[in-house]
């Protein structure tokens, strides 16, 4: 086990003036408090705080942070109190230890509402003192390194929590090496077969190509030295999870991936970065569209570097990152760089950025919401996405997450601009509002007086700020209608437990959801953001809900054997309430058709494959897919109103496909999730009554021949039984 002298020796390599007495006292205090405690692996528990302290020492952090690491579990797991730590060390250290204790007690993997509320606390702790989060990230890193000692189900929970929360948080704070290791350790738990397959392919590739990393490093050094550029080159294969994610995102096999090797060229100054870039592009062919200049346009976490991808040895693509030593320190340590030491003094890195600016911008537009789930959504959107840089017509730079649309751009400028947006021009060309913006594009937002946000914008927007502003506007516009609908939903839900809806009950439920008034709760229920059934379950957890004869998905079709599975035929997509028939397929189960489906003609001579089935007459819990054809006027707000009509009838829109676009009308195909055919008829009737809808009807593919029907079976993977 690492001793106090070992730890002090490590700290002195970057901070010769460290307070060795403070470190020794903290080491002894922690060892004494954890005496007799053991980890799941059987090791003495104090080995864990020591390992966390070592991780932070390798980041060259100050004495207070190292001491906090040694003591971070004492207040929570031992007889030591806050006052004990404050008295024996300092109020600053006691406050840091208490902050880490509070983060440890957050149940980030619990229910969504609780998780969101606790995650807000985590973000707030980060804004108060980033060192609390640095210790927590190091604590989670060591726990993930030793996770195999835990029960399998606990491993899964911790790995998922790490992948969803802690790894993105580390990345957003610029601590890339911690993020990559957390992701890979989680990947090893969540998908061990996938990780092993990547490693096996790496081994095979190395046998075929030899030590590519060493060869390319030598090539880069030999390229720079003759022209007087003092360079340090680091090269490695990318982490298995990084490779896996790229394969999944781009739908590529391992053999088709290009840049599985990454190299970092570290030089003395910024001018040398661009000189090195020029030499690399002269020596190897640059891959179009794969150059990014994060020096002139740094990321919000302080990250600066030049990125390029070139065809290197044997035409194999490699990614090269070029940066100075100060930039490299920020790229590796991120927020920790603001607290790191060198030669006994706080390191003044000009590129280091504390996360306070990010935290403040994140919470500013949600400060009055009181809605934890929206806060969680906004934080995750901000953490998971890379950035693109777009320009206003005046040349101002707007930073947005990758995948952002003109709506996000408009709200990034000002909420008023976003809410009154009617169209956009990208590089001078009018584009739909759902267009994904790319680096370097110039965007002009066209606004109109009287325009209001449309419900469909929520699905189009990518940033938390835009989504939150759109929801606020929609709630204000539709508040009265949603309150009325919410009151009716509440009445029905309360009736299932034989209770009346009272103002007191609604006020209590509103407080449980962090909302100021009962009307706010009713509005959320009416807009389907809060389930009336969940509200009743929280208020009356011990009361049994009266049965509503709800039918599960596996009970939906009557007439099947227990061993038979079923699926809806894609040609007719039958709904509960319609007459149906089943056709058996060897190895596939039973395919359910509507009785009037034209494709049934193909099976008229195969009566042994027909099954007499029917839909269960109860209320169906699962939803079913349906499609409708719609021709509507091309006008501002029409599409939004169509979506609102469908939403008001409690249907969910899966997808919208524009079949034809004309200056005066649109023809669209809408995929819906419905309960039954009655709900479909209600939607068709409501849409037909809209003055801007020219025609609407259920979508039926035009099957006209036996040959066409045979192709349908092949397309859907169905093999006709002989």
b/e code 668-684 from CB counts within 10 Å (16+ = b) = bebbbebbbbebbeebb
Phi, psi of 355 (to 5 degrees): -75, 5
Partners of 582 in beta bridges: 592, 611
479, 575, 581, 621 from 578: Cα distances, Å: 36, 6, 10, 17
Dist CA 272 CA 267 (whole Å): 6
Helices (H) and strands (E) in the chain, counts: 30, 25
Dist CA 440 CA 290 (whole Å): 13
Give 10-27 as a 3 state SS string.
Answer: HHHCCCCCCCHHHHHHHH
Dist CA 671 CA 652 (whole Å): 9
Burial of residue 712, with CB atoms counted within 10 A of its CB: 0-12 exposed, 13-18 middle, 19 or more buried: middle
Match 């020029």 to its residue by tokens.
278
> Active-site residue 657, yes or no?
no
Q: How many CB atoms lie within 10 A of CB 222?
A: 10
Q: Which DSSP state fits 437?
A: P
Of the candidates 19, 24, 62, 76, the residue annotated as catalytic is 76
Of the candidates 19, 24, 62, 77, the residue annotated as catalytic is 77
| Residues whose CB is less than 8 angstroms from the CB of residue 9 and which lie 6 or more positions away in sequence, other chains included | none
The HSE-up count of residue 700 (CA atoms within 13 Å, CB side) is 13
Q: Do residues 176 and 332 touch, judged by C-beta distance below 8 A?
A: yes
> Active-site residue 76, yes or no?
yes
241 by DSSP, 3-state: which? helix
Measured distance between the N- and C-terminal CA atoms of the chain, rounded to whole angstroms: 70
**Helices assigned H by DSSP within 496-553:** 503-512, 518-526, 532-539
Concatenating the DSSP letter of every residue in 377-435 gives HHHHHHHH--EEEEE-TT--EEEEETT--HHHHHHHH-HHHHHTEEEEEETTEEE-TTP
150 by DSSP, 3-state: which? coil
Angle made by CA atoms 271, 272, 275, in degrees to the nearest 5: 95
Q: Mind telling me the catalytic residues? A: 76-77
């Amino acid at each position: 086990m690492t001793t106090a002298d070992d730890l002090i020796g490590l700290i002195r390599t970057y901070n010769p003036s460290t307070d060795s007495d403070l470190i020794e006292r903290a080491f002894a205090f922690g060892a004494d408090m954890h005496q007799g405690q053991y980890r799941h692996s059987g090791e003495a528990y104090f080995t864990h705080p020591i390992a966390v302290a070592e991780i932070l020492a390798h980041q060259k952090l100050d004495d207070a942070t190292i001491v906090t690491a040694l003591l971070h579990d004492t207040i929570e797991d031992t007889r030591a109190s806050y006052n004990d730590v404050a008295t024996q060390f300092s109020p600053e250290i006691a406050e840091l230890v208490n902050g880490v204790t509070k983060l440890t007690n957050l149940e980030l993997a619990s229910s969504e509402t609780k998780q969101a509320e606790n995650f807000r606390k985590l973000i707030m702790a980060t804004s108060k003192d980033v060192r609390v989060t640095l210790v927590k990230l190091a604590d989670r890193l060591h726990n993930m390194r030793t996770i195999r000692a835990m029960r399998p189900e606990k491993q899964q929970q911790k790995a998922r929590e790490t992948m969803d929360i802690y790894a993105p948080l580390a990345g957003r704070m610029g601590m890339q090496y911690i993020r990559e290791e957390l992701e890979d350790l989680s990947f090893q738990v969540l998908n061990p077969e996938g990780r092993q397959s990547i490693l096996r392919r790496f081994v095979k590739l190395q046998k075929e190509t030899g030590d590519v990393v060493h060869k390319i490093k030598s090539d880069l050094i030999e390229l720079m030295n003759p022209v007087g550029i003092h360079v340090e080159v680091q090269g490695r294969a990318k982490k298995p999870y990084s490779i896996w994610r790229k394969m999944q995102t781009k739908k590529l096999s391992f053999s088709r991936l290009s840049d599985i090797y990454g190299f970092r060229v570290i030089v003395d100054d910024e001018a040398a970065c661009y000189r090195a870039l020029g030499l690399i592009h002269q020596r190897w062919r640059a891959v179009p569209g794969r150059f990014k200049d994060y020096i002139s346009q740094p990321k919000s976490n302080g990250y600066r570097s030049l990125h390029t991808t070139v065809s290197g040895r044997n035409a194999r693509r490699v990614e090269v990152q070029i940066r100075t030593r100060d930039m490299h320190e920020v790229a590796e340590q991120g927020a920790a760089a603001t607290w790191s030491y060198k030669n006994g003094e706080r390191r003044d890195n000009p590129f280091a950025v504390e996360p306070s600016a990010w935290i403040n911008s994140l919470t500013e537009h949600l400060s009055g919401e009181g809605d934890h789930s929206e806060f969680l959504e906004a934080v995750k959107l901000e953490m998971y996405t890379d950035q693109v840089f777009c320009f206003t017509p005046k040349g101002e730079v707007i930073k947005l997450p990758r995948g952002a649309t003109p709506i996000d751009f408009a709200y990034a400028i000002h909420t008023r601009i976003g809410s009154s947006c009617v169209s956009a021009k990208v590089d001078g060309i009018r584009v739909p509002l759902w267009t994904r913006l790319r680096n370097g594009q110039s965007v002009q937002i066209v606004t109109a007086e009287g325009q209001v946000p449309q419900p469909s914008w929520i699905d189009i927007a990518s940033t938390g700020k835009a989504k939150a502003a759109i929801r606020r506007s929609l709630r204000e516009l539709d508040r009265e209608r949603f309150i009325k609908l919410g009151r009716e939903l509440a009445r029905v839900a309360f009736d299932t437990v034989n209770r009346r809806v009272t103002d007191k009950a609604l006020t209590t439920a509103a407080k449980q959801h962090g909302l100021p008034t009962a009307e706010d709760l009713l509005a959320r229920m009416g807009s389907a953001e809060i389930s009336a059934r969940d509200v009743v379950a929280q208020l009356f957890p011990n009361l049994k809900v009266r049965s509503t004869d709800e039918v599960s998905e596996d009970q939906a079709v009557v007439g099947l054997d227990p061993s038979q599975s079923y699926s809806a035929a894609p040609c007719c997509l039958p709904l509960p309430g319609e007459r149906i028939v089943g056709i058996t397929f060897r190895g596939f189960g039973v395919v359910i058709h509507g009785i009037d489906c034209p494709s049934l003609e193909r099976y008229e001579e195969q009566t042994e494959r027909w099954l007499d089935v029917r839909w269960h007459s109860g209320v169906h819990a699962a939803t079913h897919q349906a499609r409708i054809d719609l021709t509507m006027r091309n006008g501002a707000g029409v599409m939004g109103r169509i979506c609102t009509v469908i939403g008001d009838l409690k249907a969910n829109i899966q997808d919208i496909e524009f079949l034809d676009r004309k200056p005066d009308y649109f023809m669209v195909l809408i995929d819906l999730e419905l309960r039954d055919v009655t709900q479909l008829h209600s939607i068709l009737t409501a849409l037909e009554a809209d003055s801007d809808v020219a025609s609407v009807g259920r979508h039926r593919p035009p099957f006209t021949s036996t040959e066409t029907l045979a192709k349908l079976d092949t397309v859907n993977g169905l093999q006709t039984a002989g």
